[in-house]
Structure 1
């Protein structure tokens, strides 16, 4: 998939969420008043469904992380709208990041680096490199889950929406780029191991 298209599919729903929240006034439907964040949750769910459908049509498969995140969006977004309670959409990032952290760290507990099957074809690294990278990402997801809890519990809804829209992505990009030295070093070591194993023995 084209990198620009992939980026638009990933951040598009979040942009729709932010625009709806900032532009939509409270709305009364069937005698019940819905706050902008509840309305934004509805458009977020629709945009997420469109994004996942478009991604599947283009590549005939769904990436694991967007798919899991989408399922949680539909469940917690549905609860937000049905119960008219913004708590559930605010909990969504905590649940998603906590789930990813549990999967990665739990896999390490059983001796499995679960990032390896997803990325090994693009980034051939040593076993130790995969363990270290998986541990770092697992702890990073814990950090994001805790950070989300701190923000929504201690600041206004407006601040939380801004944090979700403009804060999480830069933090994630900075963390991702910070892993490049580890990955480069580990790939170099993996190449050296492969060359040593391919040399004929005297």
Structure 2
């Protein structure tokens, strides 16, 4: 029978340690939290595990330096940080690891719909129809929602109050964006041949 054990308080300041060991311990705490988290961890959450006045940004920089030459890195996405495997190791992972369930298998049209939602959110299915000149199926919207890439936004103020769609933090993480401001602008899309001038 498991006993309810009171949670031990976290010594954030580690004042008994010399400064260099204190810094190293704060780095290791951040590393442990990032390793254990399935989603990006925001600065505010990381600040709760280090001492007053410690710079989370500098701790992250030092941890990233420690990880140079390793198979994984720290990425700043979706308003926080997370560990991810360096892209150069993707073929090795696909060859040896069971990652089939993680593949999104998005078509070009799926990605275009995601892009339209990202640029025009909150947007209704009618708004997407105006952009693409055809109906965007409920099935596609359902799949994007199941993958966690989109969510429902506020109801539209139009007659019938249709649902709107918005992108999620997972969308930002999957496409390696910290915020929606990191989306390419129209000129960049035109230069890449992805939009008409």
* Structure 1 length-normalised TM: 0.23
**Which protein shows a greater Rg?**
2
Taking structure 2 as the reference length, the TM-score comes to 0.24
Q: If each structure's strand is expressed as a fraction of its own residues, which one has the higher value? A: 2
More helix by share: 1
